A and B are shown apart, each in its own frame.
Chain A
Amino acid sequence: DAGVTQSPTHLIKTRGQQVTLRCSPKSGHDTVSWYQQALGQGPQFIFQYYEEEERQRGNFPDRFSGHQFPNYSSELNVNALLLGDSALYLCASSLQGGGETQYFGPGTRLLVL
């Protein structure tokens, strides 16, 4: 049973560039959420996708956008990168009708120079 997978594992970008991170949910899951974890802090909720639509959003600017595909996988896009966007980006998957439990992937570590 494949768990949540994310790619790439590490990424280095420069300020102003754009980045796309990818996530495949755990087998059987249909809901994907994205979190940003800055160094030394707890993860912060970015947004959640279900049925290819953004269902909830945290306190993040419009530079952060996403997409969910028919196979439930998801992308996180960040435009106009800032130094402060450097963080570990975590994807979590769950089943919409299956309670509150979410399972996390290993994350993508983004460094913005």
Chain B
Amino acid sequence: AQSVTQLDSHVSVSEGTPVLLRCNYSSSYSPSLFWYVQHPNKGLQLLLKYTSAATLVKGINGFEAEFKKSETSFHLTKPSAHMSDAAEYFCVVSVKKKLTFGTGTRLTIIP
């Protein structure tokens, strides 16, 4: 079985400052890990994915995530927040194409 824990339900940062969204996972298998973003009243958009290649993964819109097996973590970062980054972010673990989602982190950007 697999599970995902997003450590912060809500993160607020000022525009232009760094973003850190934290995620820990548990999986019986070697997992694939994803971050998805959901803007209000929209579907889910894939930000980035880790599938056992490079541990530092680059995604769209300047986001990155680092896979740390020893810490079972997959934290999402961005050097400089933009107003358009305000959304709900989900950390996801996938095993045999069954996705298990975290509870989400709501990112608020302060102008």
Contact = CB atoms under 8 A, between A and B. Distances in A.
B99 interface: yes
Interface string A16-42: 000000000000000101010000011
Interface string A86-107: 0000101010100111111111
**Residue of B46, B90, B96, B98 with most chain A CB atoms under a 10 A cut-off:** B98
Given A99-B32, A100-B51, A104-B36, A56 B46 contact: no
Given A42-B101, A56-B97, A58-B98, 7 more contacts: A33-B97, A43-B101, A100-B34, A101-B32, A101-B51, A106-B42, A107-B43
Contacts of A105: 43
B27 to A, nearest CB: 12
Interface string A39-58: 00111110010000000101
Interface residues of B, number: 21
Interface of B: 32, 34, 36, 42-46, 49, 51, 90, 94, 96-104
